[in-house]
């Protein structure tokens, strides 16, 4: 302890502001000190402040102070006018700690045996969170003693992740969202130790320190997974075990062996200095300088020190302190930039007339050394700038998922694209095909068997027609046979094009206008009339030569349209049979549905709207 006998007042833990001032409270007064120790201003409070908690900056030139289990709001003086502190929160129970989020303008308060409260700056309650939680019927927290499980630590805020970290009395660490009672993850440390401190790195990591076990854990702030762990020297049990994280993402923690342990973001350990004095200790937490790149450390030299190791625990007993050495350490450079012992020079700068009324220990002196930037060559930055620098480490890294031949990747992507197109076309075909009405209510195998049977029958009819056409004998009976076969073939083709077609369903009204063959009989003459869906007709009349006059023969040989008349009087029976067969058209034997339209539309020379009369002699 560094103090004068006449000092009677005890200052609380301090807060160094961006303006370089040191803020603290003592008894019923709140103080703002200049870096040289003189009082800038002070206000009186109606409640006695708690010296174990530092003031917390809440924005808009305001401070929140814990006093007698109440949270008071202290406003900075304006134009020389002081404002009386106002009551912000009074739960009527023990307050274990609180934290402020400037970005969300909210205050988070842990009340013993009640839970975590969230309030906005207008003192309106936002939500209440408890450690007992269930999701999808499973209990997530408080697995050992569900009934007596409560939060028992102060909340800490990760400004980059937008999360709150808080522990329960069973050794479980919770990560909550700032916006509500959503639990992002819960990490169980009961197998390690139920007593630990939590410090957000604001760099994508959260650090958990176990003072009794001298362990440091680094957790992923997004998932809560343990990324690395390492051991340090013996730590102070009650205070001084909180690490400090600089803007280069180095975490530093002081040890009772007199060394400063610094870890990189990936867990690389460096001990500064490597060979510390055996009779020295670091029993208070380091402080970050105004630039964010270096830390101030206080090392106490003792008249003697004794270490005792019992199982996993190290006990340190020390004699009377001799002096204190204050150092500026740059963890990234692994070096001590400035160091000076407590001397008349530092005492003369700090022991201002105002500070002489307070008890000065190493923590208070270190705060004023850091506020005065003693031996610091770095340029000061605001808290926002330091936070932006550290948050850049929390951004996800861009990883290459493949390193190799880019041409092969492009060809593979094109191949996958073609496969997808083919698959999509196949799915669309199957979807349209199985929606056919003709397939509904009947087995698919029966449908295909019937279709094959019709194609076989159609080929047999075509063979018969070809055989009749090639016969040397041609008479009226052959023409009748060809006409019957043509009609039967058209019936088969109509079924293949409609009921047993693989194409789309055909409207019934359209299917009725298919080609058909209708034999006509009238007295001694016989005629064959053929008509298709376009109302084209071909008529073949067979009339004995002696019963028709020359005028009638001339009239029966004219076209029904506006085209020229063709003289077919000299057609013999064989040519008429071929004409009769070709006039109806013959479709392909293939399975293409387009043959249906071709077969019905192909009429040799009879494709226009006209009628042809052929007279046999």
Tokens standing for residue 544: 């004995």
Q: Phi and psi (nearest 5°) for 367?
A: -65, -40
**Mean pLDDT for the stretch of residues 257-270:** 93
Q: Return the pLDDT at 520.
A: 44
Q: Return the pLDDT at 597.
A: 52
Q: Return the pLDDT at 577.
A: 53
Using the predicted structure, report yes or no on whether residue 232 has a pLDDT greater than 50.
yes
Q: Please check whether residue 73 is in contact with residue 61, taking contact to mean a CB–CB distance below 8 angstroms.
A: no
SS3 content of the chain, % helix, strand, coil (to 5): 25, 30, 45
Interatomic CA distance for residues 113 and 30, integer angstroms: 29
Residues whose CB falls within 8 Å of the CB of residue 603, separated by 6 or more in sequence, listed in order: 532, 536, 538, 583, 584, 585
**Mean pLDDT for the stretch of residues 6-27:** 89
Using the predicted structure, report yes or no on whether residue 440 has a pLDDT greater than 50.
yes
Q: Return the pLDDT at 473.
A: 64
Q: Return the pLDDT at 502.
A: 65
Q: Do strands 56-57 and 22-26 pair parallel, antiparallel, or not at all (unpaired)?
A: unpaired
**Mean pLDDT for the stretch of residues 511-515:** 43
Using the predicted structure, report yes or no on whether residue 480 has a pLDDT greater than 50.
yes
Q: Return the pLDDT at 550.
A: 46
Q: Return the pLDDT at 479.
A: 77
pLDDT tens, residue by residue, 90-102 = 999 999 999 999 9
Q: Return the pLDDT at 253.
A: 95
Residue for token pair 């009087």: 569
Using the predicted structure, report yes or no on whether residue 366 has a pLDDT greater than 90.
yes
Element (H, E) at 86: strand 86-89
Residue 238's pLDDT band, with cuts at 50, 70 and 90, is low
Q: Return the pLDDT at 605.
A: 34
Residue 52's pLDDT band, with cuts at 50, 70 and 90, is very high
Interatomic CA distance for residues 586 and 595, integer angstroms: 9
| Comparison of pLDDT for 555 and 412, the residue scoring more | 412
Q: Return the pLDDT at 433.
A: 66
Q: Return the pLDDT at 437.
A: 61
Using the predicted structure, report yes or no on whether residue 527 has a pLDDT greater than 70.
no
pLDDT tens, residue by residue, 246-261 = 999 999 999 998 999 9
Other beta carbons within 10 angstroms of residue 611's beta carbon come to 16
Q: Phi and psi (nearest 5°) for 552?
A: -65, -40
Q: Return the pLDDT at 351.
A: 55
pLDDT tens, residue by residue, 373-388 = 988 999 999 888 998 8
Pinpoint the alpha helices (H) of 402-473. Answer: 406-434, 444-470
Domain regions of the chain by residue span: 226-397
Tokens standing for residue 556: 């029966």
| Comparison of pLDDT for 276 and 162, the residue scoring more | 162
Element (H, E) at 494: helix 476-497
pTM to 2 decimal places: 0.65
pLDDT tens, residue by residue, 500-510 = 776 654 544 44
Q: What is the mean pLDDT of the chain?
A: 79
Interatomic CA distance for residues 492 and 455, integer angstroms: 8
Q: Do strands 537-542 and 29-33 pair parallel, antiparallel, or not at all (unpaired)?
A: unpaired
Residue 42's pLDDT band, with cuts at 50, 70 and 90, is very high
Q: Return the pLDDT at 346.
A: 63
Q: DSSP for 370-403?
A: HHTTTT--SPP--HHHHHHHHHGGGSPP---S--
Helix axes 594-601 and 476-497, enclosed angle (nearest 10): 150
Other beta carbons within 10 angstroms of residue 509's beta carbon come to 7
Using the predicted structure, report yes or no on whether residue 371 has a pLDDT greater than 60.
yes
């Amino acid at each position: 302890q560094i103090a004068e006998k006449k000092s009677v007042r005890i200052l609380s833990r301090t807060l160094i502001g961006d303006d370089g001032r040191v803020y603290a409270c003592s008894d019923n007064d709140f103080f703002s000190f200049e870096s040289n120790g003189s009082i800038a201003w002070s206000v009186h409070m109606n409640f006695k402040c708690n010296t174990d908690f530092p003031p917390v900056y809440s924005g808009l030139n305001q401070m929140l102070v814990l006093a007698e289990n109440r949270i008071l709001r202290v406003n900075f003086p304006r134009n020389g006018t002081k404002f009386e502190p106002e009551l912000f929160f009074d739960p009527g129970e023990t307050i274990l700690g609180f934290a402020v989020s400037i970005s969300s303008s909210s205050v988070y308060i842990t009340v013993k045996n009640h839970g975590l409260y969230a309030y906005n700056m207008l003192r309106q309650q936002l939500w209440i969170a408890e450690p007992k939680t269930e999701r999808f019927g499973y209990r997530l927290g408080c697995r050992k003693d569900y009934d007596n499980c409560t939060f028992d630590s102060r909340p800490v805020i990760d400004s980059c992740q937008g999360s709150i970290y808080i522990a329960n009395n069973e050794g479980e660490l919770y990560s909550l969202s700032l916006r509500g009672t959503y639990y992002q993850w819960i990490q169980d440390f009961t197998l390690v130790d139920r007593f630990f401190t939590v410090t957000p790195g604001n760099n994508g990591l959260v650090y958990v320190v176990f003072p009794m076990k001298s362990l440091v854990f680094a957790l992923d702030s997004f998932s809560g997974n343990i990324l690395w762990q390492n051991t340090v020297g013996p730590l102070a049990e009650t205070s001084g075990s909180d690490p400090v994280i600089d803007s280069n993402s180095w975490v530093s923690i002081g040890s009772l062996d007199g060394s400063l342990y610094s870890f990189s973001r990936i867990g690389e350990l460096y001990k500064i200095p490597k060979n510390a004095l055996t009779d020295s200790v670091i029993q208070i937490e380091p402080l970050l300088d105004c630039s964010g790149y270096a830390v101030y450390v206080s090392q106490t030299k003792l008249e003697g020190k004794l270490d005792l190791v019992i199982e996993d625990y190290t006990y340190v007993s020390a004699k009377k302190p001799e002096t204190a050495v204050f150092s500026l350490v740059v963890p990234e450079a692994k070096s001590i930039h400035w160091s000076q012992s407590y001397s008349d020079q530092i005492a003369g700068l700090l022991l201002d007339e105002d500070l002489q009324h307070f008890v000065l220990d190493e923590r208070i002196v270190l705060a004023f050394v850091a506020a005065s930037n003693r031996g610091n060559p770095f340029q000061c930055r605001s808290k926002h700038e330091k936070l932006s620098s550290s948050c850049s480490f929390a951004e996800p890294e861009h990883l290459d998922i493949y390193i190799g031949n880019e041409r092969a990747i492009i060809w593979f992507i094109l191949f996958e694209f073609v496969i997808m197109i083919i698959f999509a076309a196949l799915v669309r075909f199957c979807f349209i095909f199985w929606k056919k009405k003709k397939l509904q209510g009947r087995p698919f195998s029966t449908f295909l068997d019937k279709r094959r049977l019709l194609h076989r029958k159609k080929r047999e009819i075509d063979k018969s027609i070809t055989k009749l056409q090639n016969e040397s004998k041609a008479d009226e009976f052959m023409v009748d046979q060809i006409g019957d076969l043509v009609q039967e073939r058209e019936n088969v083709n109509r079924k293949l094009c409609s009921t047993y077609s693989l194409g789309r369903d055909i409207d019934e009204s359209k299917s009725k206008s298919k080609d058909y063959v209708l034999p006509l009989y009238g007295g001694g003459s016989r005629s064959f009339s053929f008509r298709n869906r376009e109302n084209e007709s071909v008529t073949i009349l067979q009339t004995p030569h002696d019963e028709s006059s020359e005028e009638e023969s001339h009239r029966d040989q004219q076209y029904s349209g506006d085209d020229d008349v063709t003289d077919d009087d000299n057609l013999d029976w064989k040519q008429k049979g071929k004409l009769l067969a070709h006039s109806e058209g013959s479709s392909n034997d293939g399975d293409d549905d387009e043959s249906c339209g071709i077969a019905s539309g192909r009429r040799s020379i009879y494709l226009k709207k006209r009628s042809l009369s052929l007279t046999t002699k």
